[in-house]
Amino acid sequence: IHRNIAAKIAGPSIPPGRIFGSGTCLDSSRLRSLIGRTLDISGQSVHGYIIGEHGDSSVPVWSSVRIGGVPFVDPVEGPSAVHRAMHRDVVKSGLEVIKRKGYTNWSIGLANAYIAEIVLNDGRSVVPLSTCVRGIHDIEKDVFLSYPCLLGANGVRRLLCIPLTKDEEEGFLKSADTVWDIQKGIWDEV
C-alpha cells in the first residue's frame, strides 16, 4: 500500500515502474529453498513464484514451479496437502525468525541487496516485485501486488503475464481485494 500511495502522490512525473517494492521476492526465495531442501537439490535449480500480497493472502503459483524444466506439481492433480503446508511454512517463517531472534533484517536485507544489484547493473532479471497490477488478470483497481516483473536500471520494465490455474487466479484476485479493502479507506484522501 505504501508504494501505491507513493505512486499516486508522485503522479505522472514519475514513469510507471519506477516505484516498486520487494513484494514476495523473499517469500519466493524461501519457497524455492524449501523445495530444494525437501528434494535434496540446490534451490537455484527450482524456479517458481509466490504472487499477490506479501502475507496471508499470498498465492504460490504451483502450476509454474519447475525443477530443471520439469513441473514440480502434477498439472492434473494440482497441489497436495504437502504443497499447501510448504506455503504455510513460508508465510509463517518470518514470524518464526522473529520469535527466535527478535528481528528479520538479514533476509529482507539480502533480498533488497539482490534487487538493488539488478537495478544498478541493469540486470534485466525476472523478480516477483510489488507493482501496480491494474489490468493483470482483470484487476480493475489501482493496487500494488507482487507479480513476476522484468527489472532493470529504470525499474520495472514490464510484467510477465504468467498463466494461472483457476484456483491460483481466484487467489490472486482475492489478494487484490484484501489489499484494496485496506487501501480504499485512505485512497481518496491522498
- Strand order of the β-sheet with 125-132 is 125-132, 144-152, 155-159
pLDDT tens figures, 145-188: 999 999 999 999 999 999 999 999 999 999 999 999 988 888 87
**CA gap 162, 79 in Å, rounded:** 17
**pLDDT for res 80:** 95
Handedness of CA 45, 112, 116, 53 (dihedral sign): positive
Residue 101 has pLDDT above 80, yes or no: no
Mean pLDDT of the chain: 92
At residue 95, the pLDDT reads 64
What's residue 110's pLDDT?
A: 94
Q: Is residue 87 among the annotated active site residues?
A: no
d(CA 4, CA 53): 13
pLDDT tens for each residue of 114-143 = 999 999 999 999 999 999 999 999 999 999
Its pTM surpasses 0.75: yes
Tell me which of 47, 54, 87, 137 is the catalytic residue. Answer: 54
3-state secondary structure of 148: strand
Q: Which three cell numbers stand for residue 50?
A: 509466490
> Quick count: other Cβ atoms within 10 Å of Cβ 1?
16
Residue 185, pLDDT score: 84
- DSSP assignment string, 15-61: -TTSS-B-TTHHHHHHHHHHHHHHHTS-GGGEE--EEBSSSTT-EE-
**Is 94's pLDDT higher than 70?**
no
Q: Is 73 helix (H, G, I), strand (E, B) or coil?
A: coil
Mean pLDDT of 23-28: 95
pLDDT, average across residues 18-32: 95
